[in-house]
Structure 1
Amino acid sequence: MSEELYKEMAQCIIDGDSDISAELARKSIELNMHPLDAITKGFVIGVNYIGDQFGKGEAFLPELVMAGEAMKAAVAVLEPELLKLGEAREMMGKVVLATVEGDIHEIGKTLVGTMLSASGFEVVDLGVDQPADKIIGKALEIDAQIIGMSALLTTTMVRQREVIEELDKEGLRPRIKVMVGGAPITRDWVEKIKADGYSEDAIGAVKIAKDLVGKGDQ
């Protein structure tokens, strides 16, 4: 039964159908499915597929945006369930998330935020198209240990470096750690800009965030 449901979940994201994604999310709760299973074995499969297609030039921005909306609709339904699970855990740390200036993609970042919240992090998601000073300002305001930045375009990934350079200039590292992600990001790039962590997916991002705050293996 769950295999079928996972397939339907992935498909509704690929189709960009928010009504169906929310409905399937509700169905998963009724069936007592673990919300993280619904996300990682169901909806995310669709997200990854569309992301791959976009990378190959076989899907376009409107499809990516619609898939993102459908994902958000599903996550909105599952979030209260995730928070119930997260409430039982100790507070891991504070994270500021943003998509860098000039970039409007949100799908991966939103998911990372959800997974971090579910894992006991306090997350402030600034949204998309955020300049370096805004991102750093918010991190200082809430005393965040981690800044997570996403970029989907090769033209905007340089903004990740700008934020890191700015942090260095203000003497804020290593107090504030930096995680980066997004389709064009590679290990080489991460080393080049001296980021503290990088993950290809939301599950990996949680592990890295825990390691960065010294709470790995929890």
Structure 2
Amino acid sequence: MVSNMEIFEAASKSIIDQDIDKAVEIAKSSLSQGVNPLELIEKGFTDGIRKAGELFDRGQLFLPELMSCADAMKAATDILSDAIPADSRNKSIKCVIATVEGDIHDIGKGLVVSLFTVNGMEVHDLGAEVPSDVIIDKAIEIDADIIGTSALLNTTMKQMKKLEDELRERGLKDRFKTIIGGAPVTERYAKKIGADAYAENAMDGVNKVFQLMKDK
């Protein structure tokens, strides 16, 4: 019988190999074998996307390949997320996540969404190129706790400031906690625009959200 560790390793490899069919097969067969879906996401598929990100940073994977890794990750986690028991989720933390207007980059945000979901949050992923007012309206609609935005271009970071300004103008700044991240984004910029937190990476984002909710 295949051990859980072997399943986790195979899941991780399927992401690095950009093998959507294999990732889906592992997700489905693991559920039928009674493998904990949260564990499989965290120790298997998330491990794979982390390693893919490291390969990309080292120039050993190119962007189209990294996007294929993310597609495999999403296909598998969509199946597993549906199988996670409701009582395993921390529904008290509701997050709206988006890449800011003018920015089409979705990879980093996709990893954030996956890790937030793994950690039991209720995540509403609005996708890429999302205007500030759409983000805020969604946060109001679901009564969100957290608004998280990502930018991968220096030229689109200004949309994060626009979001903060609009929250203040609409009298909503105290209602939502905001967290920002992305390659050009810094802790200093977060403080400058009035964001509540800066996330260096997806896992740091998880930790920052829990800290924000503790403070709240």
What interval of TM-score do these two structures reach, taking the shorter chain for normalisation? 0.7 to 0.9
Alignment of 1:29 onto 2:22 = no
Distance 1:134 1:61, change over 3 A: same
CA shift, 1:161, in A, is 2.4
2:80 aligns with 78
User: In percent, how many aligned pairs have the same letter?
Assistant: 43
Q: For residue 43 of structure 1, what is the amino acid of its counterpart?
A: F
Structure 1's 21 and 97: CA in aligned 2 closer, same or farther, altered over 3 A? same
Which residue of 10, 16, 32 maps to 2:12? 10
SS of 2:97's equivalent in the other structure is strand
Distance 2:175 2:167 in 1: 10
CA distance in 1, matches of 2:73, 2:93: 25
Q: Secondary structure at the match of 1:171?
A: coil
SS in 2 for 1:20: helix
Alignment check: 8 A CA contact 1:17 1:67 kept: yes
Is the contact made by 1:87 and 1:120 (CA closer than 8 Å) also made in structure 2? no
Report if the CA contact (8 A) 1:92-1:215 is conserved.
no
Q: What one-letter code is carried by the residue in structure 1 that aligns with 2:170?
A: E
Instruction: Report the counterpart of residue 98 of structure 2 in structure 1.
Output: 98
- Alignment-derived partner of residue 160 in structure 1: 160
For residues 59-74 of structure 1, the aligned pairs below 5 Å read 59-74=61-76
| Cα shift at 1:206 | 3.4
CA separation of 1:29 and 1:46: change in aligned 2, threshold 3 A: same
Residues 64/159 of structure 1: CA separation in 2 closer, same or farther (3 Å cut): farther
CA 1:91–1:50 in structure 2 vs 1: closer, same or farther (change >3 Å)?
A: closer
Contact 2:154–2:184 (CA under 8 A) maintained in structure 1: yes
Distance 1:119 1:5, change over 3 A: closer
What are the Cα deviations for residues 171-210 of structure 1, in whole angstroms up to 9, with x where unaligned?
Answer: 3212211012334433333333332123344444334323
- Tell me the matched-pair count: 214
**Hey, what does 2:107 align to over in structure 1?**
107
Partner amino acid, structure 1, of 2:188: D
Which residue matches 1:176? Answer: 176
- Pick which of 106-115 and 57-66 moved more: 106-115
Structure 1 distance, partners of 2:168, 2:157, is: 18
Change (3 A) 1:116 1:49: closer
Residue 121 to residue 47, structure 1, CA distance change in 2 (3 Å): closer
Structure 1 31/188 Cα, relative in aligned 2: closer, same or farther at 3 Å?
farther
Contact 1:164–1:195 (CA under 8 A) maintained in structure 2: yes
Gap runs ≥5 in structure 1: none
Q: Partner residue of 1:124? A: 124
Structure 2: distance between partners of 1:15 and 1:184? 28
What secondary structure does 1:62 align onto?
helix
With the length of structure 2 as denominator, give the TM-score of the two structures. Answer: 0.82
Q: RMSD over aligned Cα, in angstroms? A: 2.7
Name the SS of the counterpart of 2:82 in structure 1: helix
* TM-score using structure 1 length: 0.82
Q: Deviations over 1:54-108 (max 9, x none)?
A: 33444322112111110101101111222x1x43556313321111122223334
